[in-house]
Chain A
Amino acid sequence: MKKLIAAAGLMMVMTGAFAQDAISKFFSKYQTDESFSQVVVSSKMFGLFTNMEAETAEDKEVLDAISKLKGLRILHKEDARNARALYKEAFTLIPVKDYEELMSVRDKDKDMKFLIKESGGKISELLMIMGGNEQFMVLSLFGEIDLKQVSRIGKKMDVKGLEHLDKMDKKD
């Protein structure tokens, strides 16, 4: 019985670890493909923002929000003729049912979907999937996420796409 409980516990830990960021499958599939750009930012980097001094109250809010993040992963392909196919593939590889759709954006040359994972009333992951005529991108931001600050964080880090969340904030 003890072994069974230990095995179940191990399974839960492993499931948690793998579910930490949904683009792991994409990373493992395309990690050797040099046509993809990858960015990984660790929790150590975000942790540097803990208790940092800020000049304005607004900056302080952003810094606090950054310090609560645990990681960022981006997979991006430019000049991709198969960008639309990759976009579709993303929805088959990523366990979309584990997420809630936050927003979708469609314009003439690209589609974007924002998905969130919520647990205990807190957002633990934000996923952005973008597929255009020539560009494909998957972004996973995880940790304790303050949606109101995400577009500002995006501006700070110059991550394209996250500014769309600002529109959602204004609608509210």
Chain B
Amino acid sequence: MKKITTCVFFSLIVITSLSAQSRSFQAFRDKFSGAENVHHFSTNGFFARAILWMTTADEFDNAIKSIRSISLMTVPKSLFREREVSVSGFKTVLSDDSFDELGRVRDHGDHVTLYMKTTQSKNNRYIFLIEEPGEVVLIEMTGYIDPRILLDNSSFSFSDKQKI
């Protein structure tokens, strides 16, 4: 009985996490899932907030209270060439999926672009597309992030420490 309960519990987590993903994220996942050196992680609710709480600075505490789900996927750049797809092609997918670009930063070889899709009140979708020299990282969050946090503390911060 314990096994069944555990299976149902984790299946529910997986199903709700997957359903929390946008069409764009699903397309990205379907393209690369299962390949070597591709890592995928997805969770929601309390787990998502707990992970963000553990991995971010104190000033983000308020911002992450309204995050409902988080999905992350890392893909080696070589796989893009192998599958004959490109990051700019994926940006078109995002645009077709009604994601708007909030901003982008290029710094020391890393390219970070932040997208947002407004669905309902305070239930937005945020996508961080991070292009590093060797891999591409895609992070999707659903919920609400205070715009002041996005502007104050994200990669769009320009202090000397951040080299801009």
Pairwise interchain contact B100-A157, C-beta atoms closer than 8 A: no
Given A49-B147, A78-B163, A40:B158 Cβ within 8 A: no
Partner of B147, one of A36, A38, A45: A45
B interface, over-half SS: mixed
Known: A48-B147, A49-B147. A42 touches B156 (CB 8 A): no
The number of chain A residues with a CB under 8 A from chain B is 23
For residue A106, CB closer than 8 A to chain B, the reply is no
| Residue A110 lies at the interface, judged by CB distance under 8 Å to chain B | no
A158 pairs with B105, CB closer than 8 A? no
Query: Are the CB atoms of B152 and A157 closer together than 8 Å?
Result: yes
Residues of B within 8 A of A37 (CB): 105-108, 163-164
Using a Cβ cutoff of 8 Å, how many contacts connect chains A and B? Answer: 76
Q: Cα distance A66–B104 when bound, in Å?
A: 18
Interface centre among B104, B106, B152 (most CB of A within 10 A): B106
Contact A45 B152 (CB under 8 A): no
Give min CB distance, B63 to chain A, whole Å. Answer: 13
The answer to whether B106 touches A38 (Cβ under 8 A) is yes
Would A39 and B147 count as touching, CB distance under 8 A?
no
Cα distance A66–B151 when bound, in Å? 11
B100's nearest neighbour on chain A, judged by CB, is: A44
A44 and B103 alpha carbons, distance in the complex (Å) = 9
- Chain A residue numbers with a CB within 8 Å of B103 are 39-42, 45
A-B contact pairs, 23 of them (CB 8 A): A34-B109, A37-B106, A37-B108, A38-B106, A39-B103, A39-B158, A40-B105, A41-B103, A41-B151, A44-B100, A44-B102, A44-B116, A45-B102, A45-B114, A45-B151, A45-B156, A48-B102, A74-B164, A78-B164, A156-B148, A157-B156, A160-B158, A160-B160
Question: A residues near B, CB below 8 A?
Answer: 34, 36-42, 44-45, 48-49, 52, 66, 74, 76, 78, 137, 156-160
Interface residues of B (CB under 8 A from A): 100-109, 114, 116, 147-148, 150-152, 156-160, 163-164
